[in-house]
Amino acid sequence: MLILQVREQQKYIAFQIRQKVKQRREEQLHKLEEALRDEWQKAQDQKMQALEELYLSSLRAIGEGHRQAKENCSSDVEGLGEQMHVNTLWKWKDKEQPKLPACRLLRHILLREY
């Protein structure tokens, strides 16, 4: 009878040890999971930050390109408009038949071109 009690006691002690080991393992796995999740989140945040910086620099580059194109285009258009105006005036002068006063002539030319 005493042997049976001792045996039952040993089984209970072994069961408690197994439960403690199982609990410790689960705690360690949980801590590892949290650490890995935090590390992954930091890596994702860094990637997102890098992509945002790349996106913003691309937008700035596009804006700069548009600004330069606008400057080049506006100076080209101004020069072209001036040249066309001069050419038109020379054509009228060559014909020696100005049918419209200068102001109306210019307005007529500009409206016709655009």
Each residue of 52-90: pLDDT tens digit?
999 999 999 988 887 887 777 666 555 555 666 556 655
Q: Contact, 109 vs 101, CB < 8 A?
A: no
- Closest C-alpha among 100, 99, 101, 102 to residue 85: 102
Q: Which ranges constitute the DSSP H helices of 1-114? A: 2-95, 102-113
Structure confidence by residue, pLDDT tens digits, 5-35: 889 999 999 999 999 999 999 999 999 999 9
Question: Nearest-5° angle of CA 33, CA 35, CA 38?
Answer: 105
The structure's pTM equals 0.47
d(CA 109, CA 83): 12
